[in-house]
Structures are given as C-alpha cells and as structure tokens.
C-alpha cells in the first residue's frame, strides 16, 4: 500500500491475509500514531486477535475484560457513530488507576495512553478498532478524528464480509493464477450485472436455486422481491467513484430437483483490477454449510393428509377461519400446517406453495 489509504485498499484486504494484517499499521501511519489494532470481541472471549501493530500483546486483554475502562466502552451503542475519543468517556485519572494501565501498559513500557476507538458489528459479534498515542503525544485532534472517520463505513463492511468468510471456513476465493477457487459459489460481475466468470459451485447454484437465473445477455438476476436489492448492491459495488460492499439475503427455497436450499447471504465485494467489477460470494448459516446442499441426495417431498387438505383449501381461496371450520380444526392448527407446508416446499407464499406442489406432483 502506497499513498493515502483508499476504499479499494480496504476491500482488497478482505481476501488477502497479508494486506489485512498490514491494514491497521497503514491506518496508524496515515495519522502518524505508534499503534493501531483490530480486535475481534467474542462474547466473553478475545480468542481471535485479528491484526495490529502490537497484536501479540493483546491476548492479555482477556484479563481485563469487564473492569477495564477502555474495554467497558466497547458496546453496541457505538455502532454506526464512527470514531470516538475514549477521553470523552474515561477521564485520565480513572484510566491511570486501572489495572490495565498499571499491570500491563506501564509494566511492558508500551507507548499507549490516548485512545481513539471504533466499533462495528457482524452476525458473529463485534470488532473493535483502536488507535493509540503516547502520553506526550496529546489526545487525538479533530483532524486525526476526521481522517480515521473516512474509513469507518468501509471498515464495517470489510469486517462483516471477512467474518462471513471465516464463519463458513472460506480461506481463499481467488487462486494465485487469478482463477476462482471452487470451495464456495463465487460469481464475478461487471457493473451491469453481466457474468464475467463463475466457478463450478456457482454454476450449480444457479441451476438449483429458483430465485437465481442468467438471462440471454449473461446478466445474473434474482427473481421476485429480491431483484431490486440485488441490482442496487451490484450498482453500489461497481459505482465509478466510490464503491461499497454489501449483502443481500435469500430465504430458503426448494430446488428444481427437490433439494431444500438453506437461506443464503450473497456478499458483494468490489474488485479493482481491470474495471468496475464485483465478486458475489454465497454463504449460509446452515449447519454443514453449502457443501451439505451440494452433497445432498434428491429429496422427495411428502405431505401429510392434513397438509394436503389445507393446501387444497387455500387453493380454493378459503380464509383461515373458513378452512378451520370445514376441517374441524382450530385456527392455530391451520397456521401450523401452513407453516409446515412452507418449510417443506421452500415456499414463502401460498401461490408459490401451490406452484411447487404442482411441479412436484403433490396435488
């Protein structure tokens, strides 16, 4: 990284461990401070210290969790506010009385006193970014505060996507020869959403998922209500001046061959090589990940007699109370059967449930 840090540098670090490890160092250098660190804050555990100028020392933060004045400020209400000076919440006198200052900073002769913090949240927990200055360096200036705040939004998206890859055990997306590795579905699109390349699992996902399609112009689309969000995410990630990472959620669905597809998150990661491009990386929270989907045998969908009765009634346009009366069931029981129908078929609406039932020959 040379020159001022750009949002391209930040997003490039999402897929490159070397760049990611260097990122806090580069940010510290931008405002000429001695120390910066990313710390992953798992509930009750700091086991993943991600990167920083003094990362090897940060494991001792475990010892001060819950009673250190710095760490006590790492709260969810800091999400979205950008960088903040800890001196606004913690007085110098309070800090100097803390165990962390006396038993760690002073004992190890570390050059840390003033702190500028930043908090981001992801599905798996919080990430703290901290910048430190020496006592003689004085508190962070407004100019330094503004400089770091320039990166707040990009850092939040970086941490969200990088953690999403970690939680799905995805280490690499792109190989040394710039080919797309086949560990998870990955698409590369241009600014108009046209497919530039995809790996084998992405190709299989398009064949399986009823909400994904590629048209005659090779444009990747999502069918239904998610299409507008998908197009907006592609546009934001490939915008000519300032590109932004993002994500789109796809609910569970029933594949064309009968397999149940878990809920997916499509992660949009801007790329900078050779034009306006975006990587779309599919991940899931489902146990076993997406490999379980690809390894699964074809599933035969079986409806119980009551589920079939409810489906027939819904096809006739009966209200829940009318259907409950006709079948001599309680309304909550009708709701339960309707929910089970949706889960079995991977359908979000009655019309979709009916269409899938006809397709699978269940009526």
Q: Which residues contact residue 349 at a Cβ distance below 8 angstroms, ignoring those fewer than 6 apart?
A: none
Does residue 71 have a pLDDT over 90? no
Instruction: Determine whether 140 is exposed, middle or buried from the number of CB atoms within 10 Å of its CB (0-12, 13-18, 19+).
Output: buried
Give me the percent of the chain exceeding a pLDDT of 90.
29
Spatial distance between the Cα atoms of 21 and 55, rounded to a whole number of angstroms: 10
For the CA atoms of 316, 319, 324, 326, the dihedral, rounded to the nearest 10 degrees, stands at -40
Instruction: Determine whether 316 is exposed, middle or buried from the number of CB atoms within 10 Å of its CB (0-12, 13-18, 19+).
Output: exposed
* Closest by Cα among 299, 207, 311 to 260: 299
Give residue-wise pLDDT tens across range 254-305: 887 778 889 999 999 998 777 899 999 999 988 878 888 887 665 556 778 8
- Spell out the domains of the chain, with CATH numbers in brackets: 7-167 (3.30.450.80), 186-295 (3.30.450), 305-359 (1.10.10.10)
Q: Is the pTM of this model over 0.95?
A: no
Give residue-wise pLDDT tens across range 187-228: 999 999 999 999 999 998 998 898 999 999 999 999 877 899
Q: 9-38 burial, b for 16+ CB within 10 Å, e for fewer?
A: bbbbbbbeeebbebbbbbbbebbebbbbbb
Spatial distance between the Cα atoms of 236 and 11, rounded to a whole number of angstroms: 13
Q: Which two tokens stand for residue 280?
A: 């779309």
Q: Which residues contact residue 115 at a Cβ distance below 8 angstroms, ignoring those fewer than 6 apart?
A: 70, 85, 86, 87, 130, 131, 132, 133
């Amino acid at each position: 990284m040379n020159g001022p840090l750009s949002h391209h540098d930040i997003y490039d670090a999402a897929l490159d461990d070397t760049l990611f490890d260097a990122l806090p160092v580069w940010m510290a250098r931008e405002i000429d401070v001695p120390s910066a660190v990313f710390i992953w804050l798992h509930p009750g555990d700091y086991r993943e210290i991600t990167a920083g100028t003094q990362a090897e020392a940060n494991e001792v933060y475990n010892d001060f969790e819950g009673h250190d004045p710095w760490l006590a400020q790492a709260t969810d209400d800091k999400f979205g506010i950008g960088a903040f000076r800890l001196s606004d919440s913690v007085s110098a006198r309070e800090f100097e009385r803390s165990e962390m200052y006396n038993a760690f900073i002073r004992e190890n002769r570390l050059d840390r006193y003033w702190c500028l913090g930043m908090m981001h949240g992801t599905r798996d927990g919080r990430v703290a970014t901290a910048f430190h200055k020496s006592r003689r360096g004085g508190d962070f200036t407004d100019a330094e505060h503004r400089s770091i705040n320039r990166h707040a939004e990009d850092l939040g998206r970086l941490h969200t996507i990088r953690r999403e890859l970690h939680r799905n055990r995805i280490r690499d997306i792109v190989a040394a020869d710039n080919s797309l590795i086949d560990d998870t579905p990955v698409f590369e699109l241009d600014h108009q959403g046209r497919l530039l390349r995809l790996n084998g699992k992405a190709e299989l996902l398009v064949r399986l998922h009823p909400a994904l399609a590629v048209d005659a112009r090779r444009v990747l689309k999502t069918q239904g209500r998610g299409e507008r969000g998908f197009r907006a995410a592609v546009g934001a990630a490939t915008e000519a001046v300032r590109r932004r990472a993002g994500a789109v959620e796809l609910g569970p669905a029933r594949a064309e061959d009968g397999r149940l597809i878990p809920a997916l998150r499509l992660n949009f990661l801007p790329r900078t090589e050779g034009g306006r491009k975006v990587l779309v990386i599919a991940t899931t929270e489902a146990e076993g990940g997406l490999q379980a989907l690809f390894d699964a045998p074809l599933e035969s969908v079986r409806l119980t007699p009551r589920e079939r009765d409810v489906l027939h009634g819904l096809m006739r346009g009966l209200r829940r109370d009318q259907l409950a009366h006709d079948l001599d069931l309680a309304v909550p029981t009708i709701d339960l059967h309707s929910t089970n129908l949706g889960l079995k078929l991977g359908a979000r609406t009655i019309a979709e449930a009916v269409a899938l039932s006809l397709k699978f020959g269940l009526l």
